[in-house]
Structure 1
Amino acid sequence: MKYKVAFVCVHNSCRSQMAEGWAKKLGGDIFEVYSAGTEKYPEVKPLAVQVMEEVGVDMSEHKPKLISDIPEVLDILITMGCNVTCPFVPNKHKEDWGLVDPSGGSIDDFRKTRDVIKRKVEELIERVKNGELLLN
């Protein structure tokens, strides 16, 4: 069984896209992965795509999506720390990762964010595999 996980932020143009990329690469065996934003945005940030490509995660075809584009019911909902209230999406587990948006910063800011997200995705995978989240 795969758990439906969604990563949500405001524009779905950077942090949530990176989290989607990592979760698909590292947790594709246990997750059905989505990401979305609460507001429309024209593109995924080019530096986000570039820094993920540096570590072998291809996001070149990723496009920003809205909450309405993902499943109506999720197992896990992760917000990225956007200081906005997300529309209610039914879920079994929700957490906020409180990540600073690197947009407007240097490529090193994007790399730091990428690496923090990777670690958080790895931790999430371990917690799911160890049965630490009440998902059933």
Structure 2
Amino acid sequence: MLKVLFLCTGNSCRSQMAEGWAHHLKGDAIEAYSAGVATHGMNPHAIAVMREAGVDITSQHSKHVDELADVEFDYVVTVCDNAAESCPLFRGSAKVVHHAFDDPPRLAREAASEAEGLEHYRRVRDEIRDYVATLPDSLTGEQSSTGEHHG
């Protein structure tokens, strides 16, 4: 199985959703992990909209990428621009792939209501689901670099 790390800034929303979808949709082909270049805790709205889609991510927790330093990843997928810019070095030959998604918490802050804010979470959740559904085949076709990547 391929070991894939989904990396985001705070490991609270997008990377957690991606890990959840990978377990749910691709558990037979991908050993999924998520982490952040910082830790911001689990986003309750991310948990809620994933639950709506039938995916429970409550057993996951927000972790710093350093906690996974001993894991040799095949791919590291940065799901936000900040993570791509500050992507650390990885052991072995991990290929770093960038596939950014909008930031639901930032978009929700500008929403007129909580219900409108949740629509941003749902849209991004569905975009992440559609992306994860293409894995692992799409990883080889995306722009990537070796584990020597600094960001």
* TM-score range for the pair, normalised by the shorter chain length: 0.7 to 0.9
Q: TM-score, normalised by structure 2?
A: 0.78
More helix by share: 2
Count of aligned pairs between the two proteins: 130
Tell me which residue corresponds to 1:86: 87
**Secondary structure of the corresponding residue to residue 45 of structure 2:** helix
> Aligned AA for 1:100?
D
**Secondary structure of the corresponding residue to residue 113 of structure 1:** helix
Alignment of structure 1 residues 46-57 onto 2, 5 Å? 46-57=44-55
Tell me which residue corresponds to 1:5: 4
Which runs of 5 or more residues in structure 2 are unaligned? 109-116, 143-151
Structure 1 distance, partners of 2:36, 2:24, is 21
**8 A Cα contact 2:46 2:121, kept in partner:** yes
Tell me which residue corresponds to 2:76: 77
Tell me which residue corresponds to 1:37: 36
**Secondary structure of the corresponding residue to residue 124 of structure 1:** coil
Structure 2 distance, partners of 1:12, 1:96, is 16
* CA root-mean-square deviation: 2.0
Moved over 6 A (4+): none
Structure 2 distance, partners of 1:63, 1:123, is 25
> Aligned AA for 1:53?
R
Which runs of 5 or more residues in structure 1 are unaligned? none
Question: After superposition, what is the alpha-carbon deviation per residue over 1:29-81, rounded to whole angstroms, capped at 9, x for unaligned?
Answer: 0111100001122x211000000000110012221011112244210110012
**Secondary structure of the corresponding residue to residue 33 of structure 2:** strand
Alignment of 1:25 with 2:27, yes or no, is no
**Secondary structure of the corresponding residue to residue 66 of structure 2:** helix
